[in-house]
Chain A
Amino acid sequence: MKETNYIFQGTTMDKELTLKIRISEAGAERYVENPRFTIQSLAKKLKIDSKDIFELFPNRSEILNYYYDSRILVYKEQIQMIDNYSDYSLSEKLSLLILTLFDLFHEHREYVLMTYKKKVLCSMSMHSFESQFKNEIKQIFHSDRNLSSGSSLLINRAFYYSLFQTFNGFFYFWSRDTSNNYENSTALIDKWASFVQEVFYTRIADKGLDLGKFLFYHSPLSQFIKR
C-alpha cells in the first residue's frame, strides 16, 4: 500500500478536510485496482466506517472527482510552507503551480491517466478542478507587481482559459513523457513559464497589445474560445 500522507506533514489542515482528501486518494487507488469498487471496500481499506464516508460524499463519483479538486488544496497548503513565496517571480509561481500538480498527479499516475480526460475535460459542466486552477492563475497574475501596464489588459477570462488549455497540453506531454523523472516535462514547463514571464514583464505586451487584440477578436479562434 502506497503511503501518500507525507503531503500533510506539518500542515494545518483540519481533520475533516484531511480525511476527505485521504478518502479521495484511497478511492483513486481502489479505482485502479477495480473501477467498480464499492464504498464498503473503500471503508474497509481505510479502516473506517462506510457511514463516515457517506457523511462526506454523496456517492462514489464525487469521491473520484474530489481527488482532482483536492490537488489544488494540497498545492495551496504547500505554498504556505514555502518561505518567501510572496516574492517569487511570475515564472516561479507559474511553474510551482504546474510542477506541483504534476508531482501530485505522479503519486496516482495510473488513476490520473485513466480518468483525467473523462472526468475533468469531458465533464458536463466545468469541473471544479478547472475553475480552481483558473482561480489560482488569477491570483498569481493579480498579486504580481512587475507586470507591464499593457500586459495586464491581456489578463482576462479567455486568457485563463488559454492557460488551462496549455496545462492540458502539458498533461498530454507528461502522459507520454518517458524521460527520467519527467525531466523533459519539467524543462518544457520551465521554458514555457520563462517565456510567459518575459512577455508579461517587458513591454512586448504593451507593444503587441493592439495587434494581439485585433487578431484575437477578429479570428475564428475567439468564437471557438467563447464556446
Chain B
Amino acid sequence: MTNFPTTKYERGKIFAKTGLKVGKNYASHFLKSWINGESDRSALYKKSAEDLFGEFTKLRGTALKIAQSFSIDQGFLPDEFSEVMTQAQYKVPPINRSLVRSIIRRELGAYPEQLFASFNPEAEAAASIGQVHKATLKDGTVVAVKVQYPGVRDTISSDIALARTLFRTIVSNSEQIEPYINEVKETLIKETDYLQEGESIDRFHKRFNSKTIFTPKWIPELSTERVLTMTYLEGVHLNEFLKNEPTQDVRDQVGQNLWDFFHNQIRDRDEIHADTHPGNFLFDENGNVGVIDFGCVKSFPEKFFMDYLLLLPTHLRQDEDEIKELYYKLEILKGDPDELPKEKLFFDFCKNYGFTFAMPYMEDTFDFGDPEYNKLIAGYTKNAPFTTEPRGNKHFIYTTRVHLGLYHLLMKLGCQVDTTYSKTIIDEVLTNQLPGE
C-alpha cells in the first residue's frame, strides 16, 4: 500500500489555489481580525525586537540558540524579530588567542604548540558557544578543534531565565511557551557537553560517512567536555559554493545528496541531525556534501514521529476530517475550527501550508528552484497567524527546523530532486516496515 495519493495534480492549479489564499485574502483577513486596527503593531514589534536584540547579545551563544529555535522555523515570533535575531550569529565576540591557549592547556593538559604539529591561533570559524581552530596532528591529520567559551554552561540557566522574561514581553499567553523554553534549555545544556557531541560524531560517522556524504571523525584523545577535536572537512559553505556558479547538474547532485541524507535518517528511525542550517553543511565542486555539527541530534518519540510523517500524505490527500484529526493529535488545533473563528483561521492556514509543504512528495521529481514555490513558502512564513502564540507539540521545534531548514537549503540551491526513493522510505516507515524487510 502507499500513503501518498497517486492522482496527479496539475501543478499550475495548485500554485494558484494555495497561493491566492495565503498571499492575499488570508493574510489581510487575518491581519484585520487579529490586530483590530492596530496598524503600527509591526513597528512596535520591530522596536521591541531591537530592544530585545540588545539584551540578547549579552547572552552570547545562548541567545543564538534560542533565536535559531524560536525565530524563523518555529514561526510564532514576529517576522521582524527573526530578522533582527538572525544577525546575532555574526555578532558574538571571539575567544582571544591567550584564552584559547589557556583553555587548551587546562582541558588537554598542555599548550597547543606542544600538542599539535601546528595550531592556527586565529579561529577558522565562529561557533555559537565557542570557535573552531584548524590544526594538524603530529601524524599529519588535519583537524578542526572546537573550543568552548569558558563558563557557558553556568550562564545558560540564567540566560534562559532572562530570555524567558524577555519573551514574556512580546509573546501573549506566556505560560504556553514554557514547554518550548524548557525543551530548548535541555538541548542547550546538552550542547555544551562536547563529549556527547563527540560520541554523536562517532555514531553518525559510522552510519553515514560515504562517498557522497562525508562526516568528521572524532578524535577522543584530544577531546573533553569543553574542547572537541575531529577531522577537518574540506568544502565551502552554501553562499560561497553558489558564488562559484556551479552547474545545474552539480546543484542537483548536492540537493539529491541532502534530500537522501535527510530521508535515510528517517529510515533508521534513530537519531536525526537536528540543526539544518546552512552553516552546518559544506559542499565541494563534485556535489558531495559534508555534514558537521552534531551538537544537536534528536530522537523523537515514536508516536509523535509517525504522526509527523503522516502529515505529508494526509495533506496531499486533502481529506479535511483526516487532517483535523491529525492536528488534534499533534496539538496544532485547540478547538473545533467549525465553531471557533480563530481555530478556523489557524486550520485553514496550516492546511494550506501543510499541503504546500507536502508538494515535493506529490510527483517523482520536484523542482525546488521553482520561483513560485519559493514565493509560496516565503508567504506562509511571513503571514503565519501564530505569531504570538506557540502551537503544536514541542517536538515540532526540531522537526520543522530540520525539514524546513532542508527546504530552505534546497530552494537556495535551486535544485531538482528525485523523490521516489524518499517516498518509499516514508511509506515503509509509516507501515512499520523497514525497506528490504
Contact = CB atoms under 8 A, between A and B. Distances in A.
Contacts of B96: 89, 91-92, 95, 190, 193
B177 interface: no
B97 A100 contact: no
Given A89-B96, A92-B96, A181-B107, A100 B150 contact: no
A186 B113 contact: no
B102 A99 contact: yes
A180 B225 contact: yes
B230 interface: no
Given A6-B110, A9-B114, A81-B113, A184 B98 contact: no
Interface string A182-214: 111011001001100000000000000000000
Contacts of A9: 114
Contacts of A54: none
Interface in B140-172: 149-151, 154
A82 to B, nearest CB: 8
B110 A190 contact: no
B97 A181 contact: no
B226 interface: yes
A8 interface: no
B344 interface: no
Main secondary structure of the interface of B (DSSP, over half): helix
A186 B226 contact: no
Contacts of A23: none
Contact of B93 (A84, A88, A194): A194
Contacts of B151: 179, 183-184, 186-187
Contacts, number: 62
Nearest to A81: B113
Interface of A is mostly: helix
A186 B99 contact: yes
Interface in A61-89: 81-84, 88-89
B106 A103 contact: yes
B154 A181 contact: no
B269 interface: no
A47 to B, nearest CB: 26
A186 B100 CA distance: 11
A147 interface: no
B328 to A, nearest CB: 45
B101 interface: yes
Contacts of B99: 95, 99, 186, 190
A184 B105 contact: no
Contacts of A186: 99, 102-103, 106, 150-151
Interface in B120-152: 121, 149-151
A125 to B, nearest CB: 31
Contacts of B98: 88, 92-93, 95-96, 99
B97 A92 contact: yes
Most chain B C-beta atoms within 10 Å of own C-beta, residue among A6, A183, A184: A183
Nearest to B103: A186
Q: Which 3 A-B pairs have the closest CB atoms?
A: A96-B98, A183-B150, A187-B151
8 contacts: A6-B110, A88-B98, A103-B105, A179-B151, A181-B106, A183-B151, A184-B150, A190-B99
